[in-house]
Amino acid sequence: MAVKNVVVVGGGTMGNGITHVFAQSGYETMLIDIKQEYVDRAISTIKKNLDRQAQKGTIKPEDVVATIGRITTSTLIDDACTGDIVIEAAFENMDVKTEIFKKLDAVCKPDAILASNTSALPITQIAAKTKRP
């Protein structure tokens, strides 16, 4: 399966960074968080970081516009249904992560890849909440 659409759930430090990199790499990327203010903060951070890259000359100013243009946002987890790969980037809390994965398992395409950005929690416990490996 070719990955065309990426969804990132969680707009904190890791989530906005993941969104930034996928969008800058040419992928249509949706950022989902539970509150619009979190989404807005994440987009503001991404814009600031892209502007910094442009000022340093590592990307062109038009790349900033193109990258932002590839990012859509939502506050509805059901919108994750468009993702070919869906990356959870919520804070490190097992209850939060397993609840997100249960919801993603219910709404995502059967062939969508579900991934987690966890650094400390057992991925097998998170995956056990889904019908996917």
State the CATH architecture for 5-127.
3-Layer(aba) Sandwich (3.40)
Residue matched to tokens 């996928």: 22
Could you tell me if 8 and 29 are in contact, meaning their C-beta atoms sit under 8 angstroms apart? yes
User: In the chain, what are the domain boundaries?
Assistant: 5-127
Sheet holding 85-88, edge to edge: 71-74, 28-32, 5-9, 85-88, 113-116
Q: Do strands 28-32 and 113-116 pair parallel, antiparallel, or not at all (unpaired)?
A: unpaired
Q: Which of 27-31, 48-52, 104-108, 127-131 has the lowest mean pLDDT?
A: 127-131
d(CA 30, CA 87): 10
| Predicted confidence (pLDDT) per residue in 3-17, tens digit | 999 999 999 999 999
Question: How long a stretch of residues is the chain?
Answer: 133
Tokens of 97: 């992560």
Give the predicted TM-score (pTM) of the model: 0.93
pLDDT at 129: 80
Average pLDDT over residues 94-110: 94
Say if CB 81 and CB 109 are below 8 A apart.
Answer: yes
